[in-house]
Amino acid sequence: MKKTLVTVLIILITAYMPVLNLFSASLEDLNKELEAVAAKVLPSVVSTIGESESSEPTRGLFGLPVPRQQKSAMGSGVIIDKRGYIVTNYHVIRNSPVIKIVLFDTKEYLCDVVGTDPPTDIAVLKIKGSVPAELPVIEVADSDKLAPGQIAIAVGNSFGLSHTVTMGIVSAINRNNLGLSDYENLIQTDAAINPGNSGGALVNIKGELIGINTAIYSRSGGSDGLGFAIPSNQVRAITEELIRSGKIVRGFLGVQVQQLTDEVAERLKVPKKSGVLVSGVIKGSPAAKAGLRQDDIIDKINGTAVATVSELRKQVAGLKPGITVTFILIRDGKSLSIKVTLTEMPMPELSGKKSVFPNQGMRVVSIDEDSSYKFGITEKYGAVVVDVQKDSPASRAGIIAGDLVQEVEGIPVRNSYEFEQVLAGRSNHSSIGLLVLRANVRRKIVVILDR
């Protein structure tokens, strides 16, 4: 019996040996391909270091003040042009007056910020002074050809460990409504992306850029297999415009919108349950001037059907100011056509800095389409509170995110710049009085400043 089993095993092994050899050879070929990809991509990825002054008061012996120390933010970047242009995430270099990059050969260079686009979390840097000869520029793929299941390789400054390579697959494409950026069309991957990878490269099996790593979903703070990257086609379009003009110009409609649910469609007696519901119209905006109203349903833009909020925002933002657009609406159950001439989208607050008094504990931005979407603001002027620190003077005074500051010490403010200018003129005050609009109710709030 034993001899029979041994004979059978020998026969099976002999029969399958060619298959095993073929499988082993395939793995060796794959391994060589991955080595080649890493060797090709690593030189075109840089470590990005942004330095900023600490906002926390520092004290030495006996409570004496000492100079503020520099804090460094670590991230990644990708060389996209031999002239010294590098793409990274906006959040990597935000609040950093001094930015340097470290190449694969460990050489360091200071960089200027060419332009930023916070709504897509993209920034472009340029090496100061003379650019190294034969700068290794990454090849860029057509991200529209991506499909779930394709191999994806991430390269970046993971946890400060420069030029780390990880591999996975494209888990999904066209991810949106994640709250990671304002114009989301993200690639999802299970290639390990960790803190420090932001701004780094996501490449295909050919070593071509398919995306810029931008965020993770994680309960632990590390990689849980849910990483996201900005598609290379979007990166290319944004970076080319930033290099050309230093800013991104988008069309501005001026509406607040929400997804049309079955329940809302039934209440509005809409014959079909598609389109995007207008929940508010910003005063003085192109939409208001053209006659759009609350409860209108936007069905088509220039003949193209609109099914989601994300689609509407992308289509409008992709149009240039001055263009007249035809909107097909459903109002009171009837279809009608309205022409709207778009204006330029107000520039969002680019600095990301806290206002003049760091001890206030809040950050404001100018009203734009993004903040109005998020907080339901229909006013045209004011400074929007977008962040309030816990246990700060602003928090103790009752300020919350979404408040619209319209006056500071009785002086009207139209945007975040004027807000900070008024504060700067009152730097010696121990408190500031604000007029805040919240849920269509104006209220006076006094913030007692820390000293």
Catalytic positions are 91, 121, 198
Q: Is the dihedral of CA 152, 157, 161, 162 positive or negative?
A: positive
Instruction: Tell me the DSSP string of 351-366.
Output: S----S-GGG-EEEEE
For residues 145 and 205, give the distance between their C-alpha atoms in angstroms, rounded to a whole number: 13
Q: What is the largest CA-CA distance in the chain?
A: 100
387 within 8 A of 399, measured Cβ to Cβ: no
For residues 368 and 371, give the distance between their C-alpha atoms in angstroms, rounded to a whole number: 6
**Whole-number Cα distances in Å, 250 to 36, 177, 350:** 40, 20, 15
For residues 176 and 179, give the distance between their C-alpha atoms in angstroms, rounded to a whole number: 8
Return the closest-CA partner of residue 287 out of 264, 315, 256: 256
For residues 263 and 332, give the distance between their C-alpha atoms in angstroms, rounded to a whole number: 16
Which distant-in-sequence residues (6+ apart) come within 8 Å of 448 by Cβ? 393, 396, 397, 430, 431
Return the closest-CA partner of residue 252 out of 184, 317, 309, 298: 317
Which distant-in-sequence residues (6+ apart) come within 8 Å of 216 by Cβ? 193, 194, 197, 222, 223, 224, 226, 227, 228
Strand partners, 405: 383, 436
